[in-house]
Amino acid sequence: MSRYHIAARGLLGTLLVILAGSCGPPADERPNVIVLLVDTLRTDYLGSYGFPGEISPNLDRLASESVVFENCYANAPWTPPSVGTLFTSLYPQVHGLNRFADHKFRDPDSGKLRGSVLADDAVTLAETLRDAGYSTAAFVANPWLRSDLGLGQGFDLYDDSSVSKTVPATLLTVAAREWIEERPRDRPFFLYLHFMDVHEPYESPREDFDAMWEGLFDADERLIDILPPKYLETRPSWADDEMRKRLAYWRARYAAGVRLFDRRVAGLLGFLRESGLLDTSYLVLTSDHGEELYEHLGWGHGDSLHEHQLRVPLIVRPPQPSSRRVANHVRLIDLMPTLLAVAGAEQPGGLQGVDVSGLLGGETLATPLPVYSTGIVDEPEVHSLIDGRYKLVVDLERDSPELYDLESDPEELENVASRESVRVESMLERLELHIVETTAVELEQRTIELPEELHESLRGLGYLD
């Protein structure tokens, strides 16, 4: 019987008991490192980040004993460039996973789908931890994370057997728990899980949708509140009651996916707690990007650098529980050096993120970190820089700057570039210098023709027409 059939037959509780009794702390006292990445998860759809409904009680419990970073940013708004940065601590324009054939990854000459491959000479988090004596494993459900695209570098086990399907979190967690039981006991482990439960097409059981709809959108005033003030004040023709209900419907469907994932991941969190592994590990919960739900008249991700696509949750549960919230800006590019620091592993040269592990212990940053992002699917020259309260977004090919004051305008509804020309010029100079300095690193860049079996999966996830 396969591990997936075991899950389907409802033996999760039995497996939990078995594993809890056999997975004590390893002989090597260094902490384990566990990264749970929930694809497409927005910060504001978690209770610990202010969502008002009963949406994420299990993740909220985890957050209550963790360090919660209130302002964590992805360095790209979709999976390949963002995960590439998380794994390598290199910016997207350096590791190259933002380079795809024009027009939705299709080679303009042959018409074949092509995808970028992570360079062999890029040093990954998994490689570094493996070289430091860690057992390493990954279980991934996103089609863009196939091993032939290079992201399996450094993993003793890289299970991408389910990337052609929409795989529920329960199946990945069962596979991961089997690996935990079978791993060597004399050394710590690094485990990476990449879940797709929240990603479109937002298909969740009716019970979860009803809970989100009835809890949040049943009153007329809530149907109005879901639109940003700008659109309510101007009252455009499309913002009628029917349009507001449609928006509420789709946002409730997205919220239902978050609620479903929270329930599905509860077994893994319970297993880690009961087995004692939670108290011998650094457990990280984050996402590769957010999701626009029509805040800027669009759906999905990968097509802009607005806050809803870049801000992601970052919850870090250290071996000793710590309830703390951190307001400093941090970036996914900082995760690799930070995890290497807490694991006591040597930092490879050339990392472009910084170690922010001091924030886990209550320190503050002497100098605020600038946040650089890029990697829009069809517009590789669009970049953004967040410097304090201000955010610059610019297409370097078209020289069309946008400037937002995130403190007074968190929804990015008013472009103030025309009245802040001096600030725009200063931030643009910093951005251009950043690009020059980071791209001085040269890695082999190549693409491959994507296998035919990927096409249907990518189409079902909204990447292909």
Domains of the chain, by residue range, sit at 3-369
pLDDT, residue 145, reads 92
Residue 112: predicted pLDDT: 73
Q: Is 300 left (phi over 0), alpha (psi -120 to 50) or beta?
A: left
Two tokens, residue 343:
């694991």
Residue 69's SS3 state is strand
> Of residues 200 and 226, which shows the higher confidence score?
200
For residue 102, with 0-12 CB atoms within 10 Å meaning exposed, 13-18 middle and 19 or more buried, which class applies?
A: exposed
Tokens of 160: 């991408």
More confident: 305 or 445 = 305
Res. 17: pLDDT tops 50: no
Segment 272-289 shows an average pLDDT of 97
Lowest pLDDT segment from 60-74, 197-211, 252-266: 197-211
Residue 105 has pLDDT above 90, yes or no: no
pLDDT value at residue 86: 98
Q: Residue 58: is its pLDDT beyond 70?
A: yes
Among the residue ranges 111-115, 249-253, 278-282, 387-391, the one predicted with the least confidence is: 111-115
In contact, 247 and 294? CB cutoff 8 Å: yes
Tokens for 291, please give them.
């999701």
Least confident of 74-83, 241-250, 435-444: 241-250
3-369: which CATH number, 3.40.50.970, 3.40.50.150, 1.10.260.40, 3.40.720.10? Answer: 3.40.720.10
Which of 53-62, 355-364, 376-385 bottoms out in mean pLDDT, i.e. has the lowest? 376-385
What is the average per-residue pLDDT within 25-38? 85
Average pLDDT, the chain: 86
- Report the candidate in 81, 82, 85, 90 with the shortest Cα–Cα distance to residue 350: 90
Higher pLDDT, 20 or 91: 91
Listed in sequence order, the residues at least 6 apart from 339 whose beta carbon sits closer than 8 Å to its beta carbon are: 33, 35, 125, 129, 282, 284
**pLDDT above 60 for 205:** yes
How much of the chain exceeds pLDDT 90, in percent? 62
Mean pLDDT of all residues in 213-230 = 57
- When pLDDT is cut at 50, 70 and 90, the band that residue 102 belongs to is very low
